[in-house]
Amino acid sequence: MTAEHDTELFERACRVIPGGVSSPVRAWGPVGGTPRFLRSASGAWVTDESGRRLVDLIGSWGPAILGHTHPEVVAAVREAAGRALSFGAPTAAEVDLAELICARVAPVEQVRFVSTGTEATMTAIRLARAATGRDLLVKFAGCYHGHSDSLLVAAGSGLATAGRPSSAGVPDAIAALTLVVPYNDVDALEALFAERGDQIAAVITEPAPANMGVIVPDAGFNAAIRRITAAHGALMIADEVLTGFRCSFTGEWGREQQAGESWVPDLFTFGKVVGGGMPLAALGGPRDLMELLAPVGPVYQAGTLSGNPLATAAGIATLSRVDEALMTTIDRVADSVTDSAHRALDAAGVPHRVQRVGSLFSIFFGESAGERPVRDFTDAQAQDLAAHKAFFHAVDDAGVLLPPSAFEAWFVSAAHDDQALEVIDRAMRAGAEAAARVVG
């Protein structure tokens, strides 16, 4: 039940902030109701402005992999804040974090820090265009790579939620440079390259898509992107903003390497976990490509707060704790939550499918999802949004905060302990019963 207090706050917010939110995915538009205004968070729990505590499965949309306000991360940020909030000059901590990333993700020799995932992918594309002397960009329908103009075409996440796959305000001339292919469709990608391969600068992909719900890449799909781009002199950009240091302690690239899939993208983008909850993201790749960036090369990129000392402190403190042991813990948490949801929905007779890559997962509702895997954006759009809506509200009433959209992943953390998992288990049963009433 939404607290009266939040409703008042929301009214105030809507007067001075469009839609009352600083990012559309936070609005409860798709499910209806007033978004919770959060005041504090600790471990697996968040507390809203009316003082209600809920188990959090949003996790700041990815960064909170250790749980909220991890004491060592907070201590690192406090210590950094005591020295300076921002310098606008190089720091030792940037070097430490860059070295950590290069050591963790072998193909990355150099890193450029920015403040958001949007900037990381925007810069990666500029770099790819400069490196190839070509203009066209290929993306997959339903993948979200931030909100730069070229990437708001057939984008997932908030746009998919609003049923508006592309944004107003993007000039046709720019949108025309972005070509869209269905996810998991090697034939469509081959055909596009056969036709226009010599004009394509890059293919950008979420190596495990998580912005149209979680989609499992077909075996060999990332390797096929690599093969096709290489054959045509185009770059492959692996956007690991969401999957990096989450799908495995390196990311989806690392997870697939361990599973025997061998593909190496030209550029990686990172965000979320790498900033430990502070505004920090990065792009990385081999030295010859990365040194096309200013001041060494001709590709301009900049940022007043890039490599901010509080953000690098949080990033180092977080990434240092993201190791194989932590991944085992998080995988167990994901096992528990997906088991609870699946068992409850099965028992209530609600058709659904849990899709999962590493600890990243989401649940699709509806007959079609019940019958076969959800492989692309068209499949994802066929889900039963009414069932999701009923499920969401019952789960919220039972004390668990889910993403207010059927097109988002659920984010677990190492801090989801037995107590939190019990609350989730009860909430999944309440959600399943509510969804069953809608399904009929």
Nearest CB to ligand PLP, comparing residues 312 and 336: 312
Does 408 engage in binding with ligand FVT (CB under 6 A)? yes
The count of chain residues that interact with ligand FVT, using the rule CB under 6 A, is 7
Sole binder of ligand PLP in the list 34, 211, 308, 359 (CB under 6 A): 211
In the region spanning residues 12 to 31, those forming contacts with ligand FVT, defined by CB under 6 A, are 23, 25
389 is catalytic: no
Contacts of 419 (CB under 8 A, 6+ apart): none
The option from ligand PLP, ligand FVT, none interacting with 116 (CB < 5 to 8 A, set by class) reads ligand PLP
CB of 122 to ligand PLP, least distance (A): 9
Strand-strand pairing, 178-181 and 136-140: parallel
- Contact segment (CB under 6 A) with ligand PLP among 115-123, 216-224, 377-385, 397-405 equals 115-123
Binding mask 55-74 for ligand FVT (x = CB under 6 A): ------x-------------
Strand pairing partners for 202?
137, 235
Give the angle 379-381-384 at the CA atoms, nearest 5°: 100
Euclidean distance between CA atoms 388 and 369, whole angstroms: 13
Q: Which of 185, 239, 266, 376 is catalytic?
A: 239
Instruction: Return d(Cα 341, Cα 346) in angstroms, integer.
Output: 8
Letter for the amino acid at 269? T
Residues 61-80 within binding reach of ligand PLP (CB under 6 A):
61
Least spacing, CB of residue 326 vs ligand FVT, in Å: 21
Among ligand PLP, ligand FVT, none, the one that 387 touches (CB under a kind-dependent 5 to 8 A) is none
Draw the binding track, 152-191, toward ligand FVT (x: CB under 6 A; -: no contact): -----x----------------------------------
- 63 vs 351 by CB, closer to ligand FVT: 63
Which tokens in the block code for residue 387? Answer: 């069932």
Q: How far apart are CA 397 and CA 307, in angstroms?
A: 40
Distance CA 200, CA 128 (A): 10
117 binds ligand PLP (CB under 6 A): yes
Binding flags for ligand PLP, 145-164, as an x/- string (CB under 6 A): xx------------------
Question: Cβ distance 189 to 161 under 8 Å?
Answer: no
Residue 211 as a binder of ligand FVT (CB under 6 A): the answer is yes
Q: Catalytic residue among 6, 48, 139, 144, which?
A: 144
Task: State which residue, 211 or 257, has the beta carbon closest to ligand FVT.
Answer: 211
Catalytic site residue from 139, 183, 272, 379? 272
Out of 144, 183, 361, 392, the only residue in the binding site for ligand PLP (CB under 6 A) is 144
Least distance CB 343 / ligand PLP (angstroms): 29
**Residue 276 binding: pick among ligand PLP, ligand FVT, none (C-beta 5-8 Å cut-off by kind):** none
Q: 352-357 and 360-365: which strand pairing?
A: antiparallel
Query: First-to-last CA distance in the chain?
Result: 23
Answer with the entry of ligand FVT, ligand PLP, none that 408 interacts with (C-beta below 5 to 8 A by kind). Answer: ligand FVT
Contacted entry of ligand PLP, ligand FVT, none for residue 117, CB cut-off 5 to 8 Å set by kind: ligand PLP
Q: Does 121 bind ligand PLP (CB under 6 A)?
A: yes
Is 281 an interacting residue with respect to ligand PLP (CB under 6 A)?
yes
418 is catalytic: no
- The token duo for 200 is 């394509």
| 271 sits near ligand PLP (criterion: CB under 6 A) | yes
Please choose which of ligand FVT, ligand PLP, none residue 241 contacts, taking the beta carbon within 5 to 8 angstroms, the exact cut-off set by kind.
Answer: ligand PLP
Residues that bind ligand PLP (CB under 6 A): 61, 116-118, 121, 144-146, 206, 211, 239, 241-242, 271, 281
The residues annotated with a catalytic role in the active site are 144, 239, 272
Point out which residues bind ligand FVT (CB under 6 A): 23, 25, 61, 144, 157, 211, 408
